[in-house]
Amino acid sequence: MTDSHRPSGEYPMYPSYGNGEAAYPPPPAYEPAQQNAGAPDWPAPEPAPAPAPAPERRVKRPFALLAAVAIAAAAVGGGTATLLGELADGGTAGSASGGVVSGTTVSQSSAGTVSGVAAAVAPAIVEISAKSSAGDATGSGVVITSDGEIVTNNHVISGASQIEVALSTGRTYTADVVGTDPDKDLALIKLQDASGLKTASLGDSSSVEVGDQVVAIGSPEGLTGTVTSGIVSALDRDVTVAKDDDSSGQGQQQQQGSGNWPFEFGGQQFNGDTGTSKTTYKALQTDASLNPGNSGGALINMNGEIIGINSAMYSPSSSSASGSSAAGSVGLGFAIPVDTVKADLDTLRAGDGS
Which residues are known to be catalytic?
155, 185, 295
82 contact partners, CB below 8 Å, separation of at least 6: 93
Cα R_g (the chain), whole angstroms = 46
Whole-Å CA distances, 87 to 100, 111, 324: 19, 10, 44
163 contact partners, CB below 8 Å, separation of at least 6: 128, 129, 130, 131, 157, 174, 175, 176, 177, 189
Give the three-state DSSP class for 323: helix
In the DSSP assignment, the letter for residue 201 is E
Strands 298-300 and 213-218: antiparallel
CA-wise closest residue to 338 among 310, 304, 313, 312: 310
